[in-house]
Structure 1
Amino acid sequence: MTPFSALHHTGTPLLLPNAWDHASATALAAQGFEAIGTTSLGVAAAAGLPDGTAATMGLTLRLARQLGRGSFLLSVDAEDGFHQDPDEVAELACELAEAGAVGINLEDGLASVRLHAAKISAVKAAVPDLFVNARTDTYWLGDGSHAETCRRLDAYQQAGADGVFVPGLTEAARIAGLVKILDAPLNILYSPFGPTLAHLGDLGVSRVSLGSLLYRRALGAALDTAADIRAGRPLRGIVPTYAEVQALSEEGAIGTRPDRAQDVGSGRVGPS
């Protein structure tokens, strides 16, 4: 079992924050997160490209090469593998592993179960130690059919997936039911309107991803800040200093910690 795989079998959920660039990943690592994922939406939106259209393969590889030698374990969101040919997906997986990634997230987009299973099998054959997190979009894009979800997850497990991911599923009873019938660790996408991290752990969830939430919150904070300044209101929240952000690139080890960040306007430590 690889160190990344082991994090899915500790008895408590692996909380996986998702970064979109070097600074966000390095800052999260400085907060003590041992493993960090990427967010395809964040990577795409930051470059002015649409998510889920295979438009960001080059950017995803570039980011993996920037982050793959960091102090943390890296899992890469690769949409559907950016290819329909399983051999091409396996080639991408090899490049990601060579860059230092230890995991890959592959989504089915409700495409053919056989095709997605073939992609998983091809990746596991090419890079056996790469943790394949097989995502089904039955709740994200479909009608949330329990039977269809189980059918897809079973096929992906049979194909060799190390973990399975069901974003959009927030109902506690259904989550617990899936855990009981799965052999692979279950990954759930955190929702502010769903179970808490602790509750998901009680349900048997092995991994909780934040997806694009951090990127969207960061964008929201930027909008709030601009609006506050325009309205003459005092600024809220934590603001890392210029030197701290610069250090993320210069040293790759200094993150934004609440005990070092300043609340603008007061010069004191700000609330989280």
Structure 2
Amino acid sequence: MDFRELHDGDRPLVLPNAWDFASGAALVQAGFPAIGTTSLGVAAAAGKTDATGDTREETIALARTLARLPVPVTVDIEGGFSDRAADVAGLAAELASFGIAGINLEDGRPDGTLAPLGHQTSVLAAVKRAAPGLFLNARTDTFWLGDPDRDETLRRVRAYAEAGADGVFVPGIVDDADIRAVLEAAGVPLNVLYLPGRTEYPRLARLGVHRVSTGSLPFRRALHAAVTAALAVTGEGGDRPALGYGDVQRLVSGR
């Protein structure tokens, strides 16, 4: 099935996020009709911190291998690894040439700010001109960075859709009223991040959400499972807490 069509089903598309070829292949074998990548997993596997724009080469290398899988693949390219629209558009075209079905492009910046709206819409438009066949999922971090801002979220999702985005992603959005408002404003498929105990799949389905991403959750739980399995050899491991996003960032940075 075409990747776009997967967003039009009776229930939201569950998009699990891989960090290497083996994790992607295992998710395909489990029956998922499409997979994405997790920037945290890709960065941490390379010994780097996430969201610093430092994993362009690793992202391209992974995309090239994941393109061998028999399902559509969408790639998280963070903020595009450049402030220049032409560079981001060139990257999108390169990924499309591998057979990648979509990309996730965010407006959050490493310093915790949002890219200026006009700049971000210019980047999105350039990407669509360079790779019109890619499903462009435009992420806004208006709920992810600092205090949630519904008005700014609605302004951005409208602008991103008008610039050519095929879908919008608002990680951190949880409340029914906020989700309904974004669905009405965007006019394109809405992607919500799965947060255990906060964004339950049945509720998102009832609200009309089109896509639910797992983000870094599978990667973080895989790390936890690996440590638990190793400690279980002696039977002295005990019950260790699961790793959060910040835990992995600190682990990689050595802090």
How has the CA–CA distance of structure 1 residues 145 and 233 changed in structure 2, closer, same or farther, with 3 Å as cutoff? closer
After superposition, the Cα gap between the structure-2 partners of 1:114 and 1:233, relative to the gap in structure 1 and judged at 3 Å, is closer
Contact conserved, 2:78 with 2:106, CA < 8 A, in 1? yes
- Does the alignment pair 1:121 with 2:121? no
Matching residue of 2:226? 222
Residue-by-residue CA offset, 1:206-237 (whole Å, 9 max, x unaligned): 000001110001011122223333434799xx
TM-score (norm 2): 0.88
Match of 1:159 in 2: 163
Residue 68 of structure 1, CA deviation: 0.8
One-letter amino acid matched to 2:120: H
Separation in structure 2 between the aligned mates of residue 195 and residue 63 of structure 1, nearest angstrom: 29
Once the two structures are superposed, residues 142-193 of structure 1 have per-residue CA deviations (whole angstroms, 9 ceiling, x without a partner) of 3111101111111111100000000011112211222123201100000002
For 1:195 and 1:108, the matched residues in 2 are separated by 22
Query: 2:227 is paired with a residue of what secondary structure?
Result: helix
Instruction: Give the corresponding residue for 1:32.
Output: 31
TM-score normalised by L of structure 1: 0.83
Instruction: Tell me the secondary structure at the aligned position of residue 160 of structure 1.
Output: coil
In structure 2, C-alpha distance between the alignment counterparts of 1:125 and 1:233, rounded to whole Å = 53
Alpha-carbon distance, 1:195 to partner: 2.8
In structure 2, the gaps of 5 or more residues are 109-113, 240-255
Match of 2:183 among 175, 179, 184: 179
Q: Which amino acid aligns with 2:190?
A: L
Asked if 1 retains the 8 angstrom alpha-carbon contact of 2:228 and 2:237, the reply is no
C-alpha distance in 2, partners of 1:232/1:142? 40
- Rounded to whole Å, the distance in 1 between the matches of 2:35 and 2:121 is 25
SS in 2 for 1:208: strand
Classify the secondary structure of the residue corresponding to 1:229.
coil
Aligned length: 234
Could you tell me how far apart the structure 2 residues matched to 1:31 and 1:21 are? 16
Q: 1:204 to 1:47 in 2, by over 3 A?
A: same
Cα shift readout 1:15-57 (whole Å, capped 9, x = no counterpart): 0000000000000000111100000100000010111111110
> Is the aligned partner of 1:196 residue 2:200?
yes
Q: Residue 12 of structure 1 aligns to which amino acid in structure 2?
A: R
Tell me which stretches of 4 or more aligned residues in structure 1 moved more than 4 Å.
232-235
Render the CA deviation track for 1:115-168: whole Å, top value 9, x for unaligned. 111111001011111000000001111311110111111111110000000001
Corresponding residue of 1:6:
5
How far is the alpha carbon of 1:3 from its aligned partner? 0.8
- Structure 1 counterpart of 2:152: 148
TM-superposed deviation, 1:100: 1.4
The Cα RMSD (Å) is: 1.6
The correspondence of residues 79-94 of structure 1 with structure 2, limited to 5 A, is: 79-94=78-93
State the alpha-carbon separation in 1 of the partners of residues 68 and 83 from structure 2: 29
Give distance in 1, aligned partners of 2:69 and 2:99.
Answer: 9
Could you tell me whether the CA contact under 8 Å between 1:19 and 1:38 is conserved in 2? yes
Q: Which residue of 2 aligns with 1:243?
A: none
Q: Which moved more, 1:189-198 or 1:56-65?
A: 189-198
Question: Pick from 131, 134, 140: which aligns with 1:136?
Answer: 140
Residue deviations 1:93-116 (CA, integer Å, cap 9, x gap): 011011111100000001111111
Structure 1 unmatched ranges of 5 or more: 236-272
Structure 2 Cα separation of the partners of residues 45 and 195 of structure 1 = 25
Q: Distance in 2 between matches of 1:232 and 1:189?
A: 35
Sequence identity of aligned pairs in percent?
Answer: 51
Is the CA contact 1:172–1:195 (under 8 Å) kept in the aligned structure 2? no
